Amino acid sequence: MEKARRRLFSIIFVCFLTLMLFREGLSNSAEKPKKSLSAFPILMYDTDIGLGYGGKAKFVHYLAKKESFDFIVFNSSKGERWYVFAFSIPDFEIRQGKKYPISFDIKAEYDKYLKYSFYGAGVHSKKEDELFSPFISLVFRYDTSDSQIHPRRGFRLLLQNDTASKLFGNKKARYSRFTLDLRKYLCLFGQRDVLAFRGLVQKISGASIPLLEMSFLGGGSAMNAMRGYKLNRFMDKGKFLLNGEYRFPLWKKAGGNIFIDGGCVWSSWSKINLNKFLMDYGWGLRYYLQNFVVRFDMGISSESTGIYFNFGHIF
């Protein structure tokens, strides 16, 4: 408990110090936004995590420095415990498409996932090895989209390499995982109808790769999104993932979408078999708040049906 208090105090102190350091630069930048609060209670059922409850809130410009504070508190019947605190200055949506001399983001996240344990293979696996596999990430982003919350036009490119080794504190795993993520957004019939496309390629290689660090497909998470299949249904050392959505308005802040997901997994570049490409389809609802999007999706495949309730677009 004492360690948690010290960490919380450190986070608050860093946020306060950053506000003071950035105060002058931000006061001289472009137009000042209005302060806003977006809050939403959570009571939902999700195929991946079961019955969930909690809430999300985001405060923007309450200190008049274009900053944002974002909070998530979430628990589920299948054992997920997800707590998030994020601070940005300027807020990531305020700075979208603008130039600032410097920006700052800090995020503290605790995510205890489902009620299962994996201790490694064989009779000699030990409990202290349970699910702990740290790695370091190097990320390159290129983004011309008009919004981080609800993009309507533009292009995004993400290149990411995750590396696990003894040098970075991993006692057993030795691997490198490369991800290429491309996204395109197009407006149709006005400003509220959007076609969104995403293509993702991922490959992991190394001398020692933990099972839970492999490339997965299945479920409603952003990196694995095949919403008609169960969580982590397909796994191997590489994957292709394609997502397409048509997002359209319904009434006031409410919207809908129809989507199709496709993908396959493979063990090596030479063993890619596109005849094994799998597909699902579905529909969803969206509720657009000022600072985030509430998302409901239902995905259908030849194997199962997935129901998902969460925040933010899948891509």
Q: What is the 3-state secondary structure (H, E, C) of 165-229?
A: CHHHCCCCCEEEEEEEEEEEEEEECCCCEEEEEEEEEEEEEEEECCHHHCEEECECCCCCCECCC
In a domain, 122, yes or no: no
In a domain, 252, yes or no: yes
Structural domain for 37, as ranges:
1-116
Instruction: Say if residue 156 is in the same domain as residue 95.
Output: no
Instruction: Say if residue 203 is in the same domain as residue 88.
Output: no
Domain end, chosen from 116, 149, 167, is at 116
User: 66 CB contacts (<8 Å, ≥6 apart)?
Assistant: 26, 29, 32, 33, 89, 90, 91, 94, 95
How many whole angstroms separate alpha carbon 46 and alpha carbon 68? 28
Instruction: Say if residue 206 is in the same domain as residue 107.
Output: no
Instruction: Say if residue 137 is in the same domain as residue 87.
Output: no
Domain end, chosen from 87, 116, 145, is at 116
Beta-bridge partners for 12: none
- Cα dihedral across residues 237, 308, 153, 242: positive or negative: positive
How many whole angstroms separate alpha carbon 208 and alpha carbon 173? 5
In this prediction, residue 124 carries a pLDDT of 63
Mean pLDDT, the chain, whole residue set: 85
Instruction: Say if residue 20 is in the same domain as residue 46.
Output: yes
In a domain, 217, yes or no: yes
Question: For the chain, how far is it from start to end, CA to CA, in angstroms?
Answer: 37
Q: Which pairs count as long-range contacts for 289-292, CB under 8 Å and 24+ apart, including other chains? A: 289/38, 289/40, 289/253, 290/36, 290/38, 290/60, 291/36, 291/38, 291/58, 291/60, 291/68, 291/70, 291/93, 291/149, 292/38, 292/40, 292/56, 292/58, 292/149
In this prediction, residue 116 carries a pLDDT of 58
In this prediction, residue 1 carries a pLDDT of 46
In a domain, 38, yes or no: yes
pTM: 0.77
Instruction: Say if residue 187 is in the same domain as residue 48.
Output: no
How many whole angstroms separate alpha carbon 223 and alpha carbon 41? 25
Judge contact between 158 and 178, C-beta under 8 A. no
Instruction: Say if residue 174 is in the same domain as residue 256.
Output: yes
Instruction: Give every residue of the chain whose pLDDT is below 50, as ranges.
Output: 1-6, 8-9, 12-14, 16-17, 20-22, 24-29
In a domain, 123, yes or no: no
Instruction: Say if residue 180 is in the same domain as residue 242.
Output: yes
Q: How many domains does the chain have?
A: 2
Instruction: Say if residue 95 is in the same domain as residue 134.
Output: no
Which token pair is 14?
Answer: 């860093």
Instruction: Say if residue 110 is in the same domain as residue 138.
Output: no
Beta strand pairing status for 174-188 and 154-164? antiparallel
Domain end, chosen from 116, 149, 173, is at 116
* pLDDT tens-digit readout, 183-210: 999 998 877 899 999 999 999 999 888 8
In a domain, 121, yes or no: no
- CATH number (domain holding residue 168): 2.40.160.50
In this prediction, residue 117 carries a pLDDT of 57
Q: Cis peptide before 90, with omega less than 30 degrees from 0?
A: yes
How many whole angstroms separate alpha carbon 216 and alpha carbon 223? 8
